[in-house]
Amino acid sequence: MRTRGFEQDDAHVFCREEHVAGEVARFVALLSEVYAALGFPEPEVALSTRPEARAGSDALWDWAEEALADAARQWGLSFNVQPGEGAFYGPKLDFALRDRLGRSWQCGTVQLDTVLPNRLDASYVGPDGNRIIPVMVHHAVFGSICRFIAILLEHYSGALPFWLSPDQVAVAPISQDQADYAADVREALEAQNIRTVLLDGAETLSRRIVAAYEMSIPVVAVLGRREAEQKTVSLRERTGDVAVLSLKDATTLLWQRAHPAQNSRK
Protein backbone atom coordinates (compact mmCIF):
# COMPACT_ATOMS: atom_id res chain seq x y z
CA MET A 1 0.00 0.00 0.00
CA ARG A 2 3.05 2.29 -0.05
CA THR A 3 3.02 4.09 -3.36
CA ARG A 4 6.12 4.85 -5.41
CA GLY A 5 4.25 7.68 -7.09
CA PHE A 6 1.27 9.73 -6.05
CA GLU A 7 -1.42 10.36 -8.65
CA GLN A 8 -4.43 12.08 -7.13
CA ASP A 9 -7.89 12.90 -8.48
CA ASP A 10 -7.62 16.35 -6.94
CA ALA A 11 -10.07 19.15 -7.67
CA HIS A 12 -10.33 22.77 -6.53
CA VAL A 13 -13.60 24.68 -6.69
CA PHE A 14 -13.79 28.44 -6.13
CA CYS A 15 -17.19 29.49 -4.83
CA ARG A 16 -19.08 31.97 -2.66
CA GLU A 17 -19.59 31.28 1.03
CA GLU A 18 -23.31 30.64 0.48
CA HIS A 19 -22.47 28.00 -2.14
CA VAL A 20 -20.31 25.87 0.16
CA ALA A 21 -23.12 23.57 1.29
CA GLY A 22 -24.20 22.91 -2.30
CA GLU A 23 -20.65 22.17 -3.46
CA VAL A 24 -20.05 19.79 -0.55
CA ALA A 25 -23.38 18.05 -1.25
CA ARG A 26 -22.48 17.69 -4.95
CA PHE A 27 -19.16 16.12 -4.06
CA VAL A 28 -20.62 13.76 -1.45
CA ALA A 29 -23.22 12.59 -4.01
CA LEU A 30 -20.43 11.82 -6.49
CA LEU A 31 -18.30 10.08 -3.86
CA SER A 32 -21.25 8.02 -2.60
CA GLU A 33 -22.12 6.84 -6.12
CA VAL A 34 -18.53 5.85 -6.91
CA TYR A 35 -17.94 4.04 -3.61
CA ALA A 36 -21.24 2.14 -3.85
CA ALA A 37 -20.41 1.00 -7.40
CA LEU A 38 -17.05 -0.30 -6.16
CA GLY A 39 -18.58 -2.18 -3.21
CA PHE A 40 -18.13 0.31 -0.37
CA PRO A 41 -21.65 1.64 0.32
CA GLU A 42 -21.04 3.02 3.82
CA PRO A 43 -17.77 4.95 4.24
CA GLU A 44 -16.77 6.14 7.69
CA VAL A 45 -16.71 9.93 7.98
CA ALA A 46 -14.62 12.16 10.22
CA LEU A 47 -14.47 15.95 10.62
CA SER A 48 -10.85 17.05 11.05
CA THR A 49 -10.57 20.39 12.83
CA ARG A 50 -7.89 23.10 13.21
CA PRO A 51 -4.31 22.03 13.92
CA GLU A 52 -1.98 23.98 16.19
CA ALA A 53 0.16 25.08 13.25
CA ARG A 54 -2.30 26.83 10.97
CA ALA A 55 -2.90 29.92 8.88
CA GLY A 56 -5.91 32.21 9.08
CA SER A 57 -7.75 33.83 11.96
CA ASP A 58 -9.77 32.00 14.60
CA ALA A 59 -12.89 33.70 13.23
CA LEU A 60 -12.29 32.18 9.79
CA TRP A 61 -11.68 28.78 11.33
CA ASP A 62 -14.86 29.05 13.41
CA TRP A 63 -16.85 29.79 10.26
CA ALA A 64 -15.17 27.10 8.14
CA GLU A 65 -15.57 24.33 10.73
CA GLU A 66 -19.22 25.15 11.33
CA ALA A 67 -19.94 25.51 7.60
CA LEU A 68 -18.41 22.11 6.82
CA ALA A 69 -20.19 20.44 9.74
CA ASP A 70 -23.52 21.98 8.68
CA ALA A 71 -23.02 20.82 5.08
CA ALA A 72 -22.33 17.28 6.31
CA ARG A 73 -25.44 17.28 8.48
CA GLN A 74 -27.58 18.59 5.63
CA TRP A 75 -26.47 15.61 3.56
CA GLY A 76 -27.36 13.30 6.46
CA LEU A 77 -23.79 12.32 7.29
CA SER A 78 -22.88 11.29 10.81
CA PHE A 79 -19.24 11.91 11.63
CA ASN A 80 -16.62 11.65 14.34
CA VAL A 81 -14.52 14.69 15.19
CA GLN A 82 -10.74 14.43 14.85
CA PRO A 83 -9.37 17.45 16.76
CA GLY A 84 -6.24 19.00 15.26
CA GLU A 85 -6.20 16.78 12.14
CA GLY A 86 -7.23 19.46 9.64
CA ALA A 87 -4.94 20.95 7.00
CA PHE A 88 -3.09 24.17 7.83
CA TYR A 89 -5.50 26.09 5.62
CA GLY A 90 -8.84 24.65 6.70
CA PRO A 91 -10.98 21.84 8.13
CA LYS A 92 -11.89 18.73 6.16
CA LEU A 93 -14.21 15.78 5.99
CA ASP A 94 -12.29 12.52 5.59
CA PHE A 95 -13.93 9.39 4.14
CA ALA A 96 -12.47 6.02 5.12
CA LEU A 97 -13.25 2.63 3.57
CA ARG A 98 -13.15 -0.63 5.49
CA ASP A 99 -11.96 -3.65 3.51
CA ARG A 100 -12.94 -7.30 3.91
CA LEU A 101 -10.17 -7.77 6.51
CA GLY A 102 -11.57 -4.96 8.65
CA ARG A 103 -8.79 -2.52 7.87
CA SER A 104 -9.70 1.15 7.49
CA TRP A 105 -8.25 3.22 4.64
CA GLN A 106 -8.70 6.97 4.46
CA CYS A 107 -9.40 7.81 0.83
CA GLY A 108 -11.78 10.63 -0.06
CA THR A 109 -11.63 14.11 1.39
CA VAL A 110 -13.35 17.47 1.03
CA GLN A 111 -11.69 20.53 2.54
CA LEU A 112 -12.67 24.17 3.05
CA ASP A 113 -9.90 26.66 2.39
CA THR A 114 -10.16 30.35 3.28
CA VAL A 115 -6.39 30.93 3.23
CA LEU A 116 -4.98 30.02 -0.18
CA PRO A 117 -7.47 32.06 -2.26
CA ASN A 118 -6.18 35.17 -0.47
CA ARG A 119 -2.56 34.16 -1.08
CA LEU A 120 -3.40 33.58 -4.74
CA ASP A 121 -5.01 37.03 -4.88
CA ALA A 122 -8.15 35.35 -6.22
CA SER A 123 -11.34 37.40 -6.26
CA TYR A 124 -14.69 37.85 -7.95
CA VAL A 125 -16.93 40.87 -8.39
CA GLY A 126 -19.87 40.79 -5.97
CA PRO A 127 -23.39 42.17 -6.54
CA ASP A 128 -22.30 45.54 -5.08
CA GLY A 129 -19.39 45.84 -7.51
CA ASN A 130 -16.72 45.17 -4.87
CA ARG A 131 -14.12 42.44 -5.22
CA ILE A 132 -14.63 39.49 -2.83
CA ILE A 133 -12.20 36.69 -1.98
CA PRO A 134 -13.86 33.31 -2.71
CA VAL A 135 -13.73 30.12 -0.69
CA MET A 136 -11.79 27.21 -2.20
CA VAL A 137 -13.17 23.68 -1.84
CA HIS A 138 -10.55 20.95 -2.28
CA HIS A 139 -11.86 17.46 -2.92
CA ALA A 140 -10.74 14.00 -4.04
CA VAL A 141 -12.73 10.77 -4.28
CA PHE A 142 -9.85 8.26 -4.34
CA GLY A 143 -6.87 10.11 -2.91
CA SER A 144 -3.94 8.11 -4.21
CA ILE A 145 -5.28 6.32 -7.29
CA CYS A 146 -2.59 3.62 -7.18
CA ARG A 147 -3.28 2.91 -3.51
CA PHE A 148 -7.01 2.76 -4.21
CA ILE A 149 -6.41 0.09 -6.86
CA ALA A 150 -4.41 -1.86 -4.27
CA ILE A 151 -7.30 -1.54 -1.81
CA LEU A 152 -9.70 -2.91 -4.42
CA LEU A 153 -7.43 -5.86 -5.18
CA GLU A 154 -7.12 -6.67 -1.48
CA HIS A 155 -10.83 -6.23 -0.83
CA TYR A 156 -11.89 -8.55 -3.65
CA SER A 157 -8.88 -10.91 -3.42
CA GLY A 158 -8.24 -10.07 -7.07
CA ALA A 159 -11.80 -11.04 -8.06
CA LEU A 160 -12.85 -7.63 -9.32
CA PRO A 161 -16.38 -6.84 -10.50
CA PHE A 162 -16.99 -7.96 -14.07
CA TRP A 163 -16.95 -4.43 -15.51
CA LEU A 164 -13.62 -3.66 -13.81
CA SER A 165 -11.78 -6.91 -14.56
CA PRO A 166 -8.83 -6.44 -16.94
CA ASP A 167 -9.90 -9.62 -18.80
CA GLN A 168 -13.63 -10.28 -18.58
CA VAL A 169 -14.28 -13.46 -20.57
CA ALA A 170 -12.11 -16.46 -21.40
CA VAL A 171 -13.26 -18.36 -24.50
CA ALA A 172 -12.42 -22.06 -24.11
CA PRO A 173 -13.17 -24.49 -26.95
CA ILE A 174 -13.30 -28.11 -25.80
CA SER A 175 -11.26 -29.27 -28.80
CA GLN A 176 -9.71 -27.90 -31.95
CA ASP A 177 -12.90 -28.86 -33.78
CA GLN A 178 -14.46 -25.72 -32.28
CA ALA A 179 -11.51 -23.45 -33.08
CA ASP A 180 -13.31 -21.56 -35.85
CA TYR A 181 -16.41 -21.02 -33.72
CA ALA A 182 -14.24 -19.91 -30.80
CA ALA A 183 -12.68 -17.26 -33.04
CA ASP A 184 -16.18 -16.09 -34.06
CA VAL A 185 -17.29 -15.86 -30.40
CA ARG A 186 -14.21 -13.91 -29.44
CA GLU A 187 -14.70 -11.53 -32.36
CA ALA A 188 -18.39 -11.00 -31.45
CA LEU A 189 -17.53 -10.20 -27.84
CA GLU A 190 -14.66 -7.88 -28.67
CA ALA A 191 -16.87 -6.03 -31.15
CA GLN A 192 -18.94 -5.04 -28.10
CA ASN A 193 -15.83 -3.89 -26.18
CA ILE A 194 -15.88 -6.96 -23.93
CA ARG A 195 -12.29 -7.77 -22.97
CA THR A 196 -11.77 -11.34 -24.12
CA VAL A 197 -8.95 -13.89 -24.15
CA LEU A 198 -8.81 -17.19 -26.02
CA LEU A 199 -7.71 -20.26 -24.05
CA ASP A 200 -7.24 -22.88 -26.73
CA GLY A 201 -4.09 -24.61 -25.50
CA ALA A 202 -3.38 -28.32 -25.27
CA GLU A 203 -4.36 -28.57 -21.59
CA THR A 204 -7.59 -30.23 -20.56
CA LEU A 205 -10.72 -28.09 -20.42
CA SER A 206 -10.89 -28.34 -16.63
CA ARG A 207 -7.29 -27.16 -16.33
CA ARG A 208 -7.96 -24.20 -18.64
CA ILE A 209 -11.02 -23.24 -16.59
CA VAL A 210 -8.95 -23.35 -13.41
CA ALA A 211 -6.28 -21.23 -15.12
CA ALA A 212 -8.91 -18.64 -16.08
CA TYR A 213 -10.11 -18.34 -12.49
CA GLU A 214 -6.52 -18.16 -11.26
CA MET A 215 -6.14 -15.15 -13.58
CA SER A 216 -9.31 -13.72 -11.94
CA ILE A 217 -11.29 -13.84 -15.20
CA PRO A 218 -14.91 -13.83 -14.01
CA VAL A 219 -16.57 -15.74 -16.89
CA VAL A 220 -15.48 -18.68 -19.04
CA ALA A 221 -17.33 -19.29 -22.31
CA VAL A 222 -17.11 -23.04 -22.93
CA LEU A 223 -17.66 -24.18 -26.51
CA GLY A 224 -18.25 -27.79 -27.40
CA ARG A 225 -19.70 -29.60 -30.41
CA ARG A 226 -23.28 -28.81 -29.42
CA GLU A 227 -22.54 -25.10 -28.87
CA ALA A 228 -20.80 -24.86 -32.24
CA GLU A 229 -23.70 -26.55 -34.04
CA GLN A 230 -26.42 -24.52 -32.31
CA LYS A 231 -24.46 -21.24 -32.15
CA THR A 232 -24.80 -21.07 -28.39
CA VAL A 233 -22.38 -20.34 -25.54
CA SER A 234 -22.06 -22.05 -22.16
CA LEU A 235 -21.18 -19.30 -19.70
CA ARG A 236 -19.52 -20.49 -16.51
CA GLU A 237 -19.24 -18.03 -13.61
CA ARG A 238 -16.51 -18.24 -11.00
CA THR A 239 -19.39 -18.81 -8.52
CA GLY A 240 -20.09 -22.13 -10.28
CA ASP A 241 -23.29 -21.01 -12.02
CA VAL A 242 -23.73 -22.13 -15.63
CA ALA A 243 -26.06 -20.69 -18.29
CA VAL A 244 -26.41 -21.76 -21.92
CA LEU A 245 -27.45 -18.87 -24.16
CA SER A 246 -27.48 -18.04 -27.82
CA LEU A 247 -24.40 -16.12 -28.90
CA LYS A 248 -26.54 -13.01 -29.43
CA ASP A 249 -28.13 -13.22 -25.97
CA ALA A 250 -24.79 -13.98 -24.33
CA THR A 251 -23.20 -10.98 -26.01
CA THR A 252 -26.05 -8.72 -24.90
CA LEU A 253 -25.90 -9.98 -21.32
CA LEU A 254 -22.14 -9.60 -21.08
CA TRP A 255 -22.26 -6.13 -22.65
CA GLN A 256 -24.74 -5.06 -19.97
CA ARG A 257 -22.41 -6.33 -17.26
CA ALA A 258 -19.39 -4.73 -18.90
CA HIS A 259 -21.04 -1.32 -19.24
CA PRO A 260 -23.33 -0.89 -16.20
CA ALA A 261 -23.33 2.92 -16.36
CA GLN A 262 -24.43 3.01 -20.00
CA ASN A 263 -26.98 0.28 -19.37
CA SER A 264 -28.54 2.14 -16.41
CA ARG A 265 -29.07 5.24 -18.55
CA LYS A 266 -31.06 3.34 -21.18
Question: Consecutive 10-residue runs of the chain (266 residues): their mean pLDDT?
Answer: 79 92 90 91 90 87 89 86 88 92 92 90 91 93 91 88 92 92 95 93 90 92 95 92 94 91 59
Nearest alpha-carbon partner for 90 in 115, 109, 119: 115
pTM of the model: 0.74
Distance, in Å, from the CA atom of 245 to the CA atom of 183, rounded to the nearest integer, reads 17
Name the amino acid, one letter, at 186: R
Burial class of residue 171 (count of CB atoms within 10 Å of its CB; 0-12, 13-18, 19+)? buried
- At residue 263, the pLDDT reads 60
CATH for the stretch 162-260: 3.40.50.800
Q: Does the CA dihedral 189-190-193-198 come out positive or negative?
A: positive
Helices (H), 13-57: 20-37
One CATH from 3.10.450.40, 1.10.10.10, 3.90.1300.10, 3.30.930.10 for 11-155: 3.30.930.10
In which residue ranges of the chain is CATH 3.30.930.10 found?
Answer: 11-155
- Cα→Cα distances 183→111, 166, 198, 229, Å: 52, 20, 8, 14
